[in-house]
């Protein structure tokens, strides 16, 4: 199995971090007991700017239904941009895609967004559709693993994975908790489309991306309060525990060693790392757990700085950036993300 295409797309509205912080200060005003805390949180998350689905002045008056309608509309717009570019990169015809995995945790739709895009782009009407909601930040890596499972069963076929995360549309107007203040400084909007080819199908493509050698999903029991959403009449309210870095540090290193051991490898064999851009604390905790230097996570740090945390799209953005600088042939690589429940997904790749 091989990744043969990866392409991102963003909304047209972009704001630097200072402008976003000023907008939140003006909006929340005297609701913030310590306004300086918001400024510090926004300044310390390692983000220079972010894309938003809508003009910044629209957000204060939006209700949940309006935000979700904007999510559907923008998700389709971004899918229309990202999917054709990924198909072109793979060097295939759109009719050759036989499975469509769609992942998101920032909005809901029925018919799902994949169905809307099949109509818009006139994709193969006989393809399998697999819309997935609720996996959160881990869904980019999990989506690759599930697409790999599909093409392993059907080696002459191609699978499409599309992640769209429009985190700005989950804004909670009256939530001034530390978790929400952090999220308003960290999360942004964007999408990535990835094409995964079976072994036979990959022979018809170039060598744009790495081979998928193995994958490993791990669920950590009784950690469901570490990360996720509380969903109510106002929409999606962030659940983000300060224990996230500790959970990562306690588990991910052992998970990695298990995956590598099954494939006769050690950490020293890995020459390229692609990790979810959860934020500075998450990246540092993950680097420590995996025993790698921060500079080895250059693509993750760059993506965090350029566009913030894009939930499930983040690790796919890191993949796209790494593919642009393609590591040397034969290089072993790990793509990894974590998400609600708490859980992790590791993907072993070789260039």
**Using an 8 Å Cβ cutoff, are 85 and 193 in contact?**
yes
Which stretch of DSSP H or E encloses residue 119?
Answer: helix 113-121
Cβ neighbors of 48 (< 8 A, separation 6 or more) are: 16, 17, 305, 306
Separation CA 6–CA 212 (nearest Å): 14
**In the structure encoding, which two tokens stand for residue 52, read together?**
């938003």
Angle at 158 between CA 78 and CA 165, to 5 degrees: 25
Residue 120: Cβ-neighbour burial (10 angstroms; 0-12, 13-18, 19+): middle
Residue 296: Cβ-neighbour burial (10 angstroms; 0-12, 13-18, 19+): middle
Buried b (16+ CB within 10 A) or exposed e, 172-199: beebbeeebbbbbbbbbbbbbbbbbbbe
Which of 137, 205, 272, 343 is catalytic? The answer is 137
**Using an 8 Å Cβ cutoff, are 146 and 101 in contact?**
yes
Rg, C-alpha atoms of the chain: 19
Parallel, antiparallel, or unpaired: how do β-strands 343-350 and 211-219 relate? antiparallel
* Alpha-carbon distance values, 291 to 79, 285, 286, 319 (Å): 36, 10, 8, 20
**In the structure encoding, which two tokens stand for residue 131, read together?**
């819309």
- Establish whether 272 is a catalytic residue: no
Long-range contacts of 238-241 (CB under 8 A, 24+ apart): 238/170, 238/172, 238/175, 238/179, 238/180, 238/183, 239/179, 239/340, 240/179, 240/182, 240/183, 241/179
**In the structure encoding, which two tokens stand for residue 232, read together?**
């109510």
Q: Please list the active-site residues.
A: 137
């Amino acid at each position: 199995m091989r990744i043969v295409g990866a392409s991102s797309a963003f909304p047209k509205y972009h704001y630097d971090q200072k402008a976003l912080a000023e907008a939140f200060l003006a909006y929340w005003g005297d609701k913030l007991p310590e306004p300086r805390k918001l400024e510090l949180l926004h300044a310390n998350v390692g983000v220079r700017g972010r894309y938003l689905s809508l003009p910044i002045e629209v957000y204060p008056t939006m209700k949940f239904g309006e935000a979700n309608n904007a999510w559907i509309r923008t998700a389709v717009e971004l899918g229309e941009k990202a999917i054709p570019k990924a198909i072109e990169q793979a060097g295939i015809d759109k009719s050759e895609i036989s499975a469509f995995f769609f992942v998101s945790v920032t909005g809901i739709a029925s018919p799902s967004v994949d169905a809307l895009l099949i109509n818009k782009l006139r994709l193969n009407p006989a393809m399998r559709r697999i819309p997935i909601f609720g996996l959160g930040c881990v869904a980019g890596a999990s989506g690759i693993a599930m697409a790999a499972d599909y093409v392993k069963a059907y080696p002459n076929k191609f699978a499409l994975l599309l992640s769209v995360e429009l985190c700005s549309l989950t804004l909670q107007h009256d939530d001034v908790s530390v978790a929400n203040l952090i999220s308003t400084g960290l999360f942004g909007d964007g999408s990535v489309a990835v094409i995964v080819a079976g072994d036979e199908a990959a022979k018809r493509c170039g060598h744009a991306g790495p081979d998928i050698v193995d994958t490993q999903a791990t669920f950590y029991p009784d950690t469901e309060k570490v990360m996720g959403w509380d969903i109510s009449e106002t929409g999606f309210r962030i659940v983000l525990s300060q224990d996230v870095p500790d959970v990562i540090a306690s588990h991910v290193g052992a998970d990695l060693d298990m995956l590598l051991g099954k494939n006769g490898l050690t950490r020293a064999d890995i020459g390229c790392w692609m990790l979810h851009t959860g934020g500075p604390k998450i990246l540092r905790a993950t680097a420590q757990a995996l025993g790698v230097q921060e500079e080895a996570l250059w693509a993750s740090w760059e993506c965090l700085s350029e566009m913030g945390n894009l939930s499930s799209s983040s690790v796919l953005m890191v993949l796209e950036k790494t593919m642009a600088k393609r590591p040397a042939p034969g290089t072993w690589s790990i793509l990894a993300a974590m998400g609600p429940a708490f859980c992790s997904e590791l993907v072993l790749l070789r260039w």
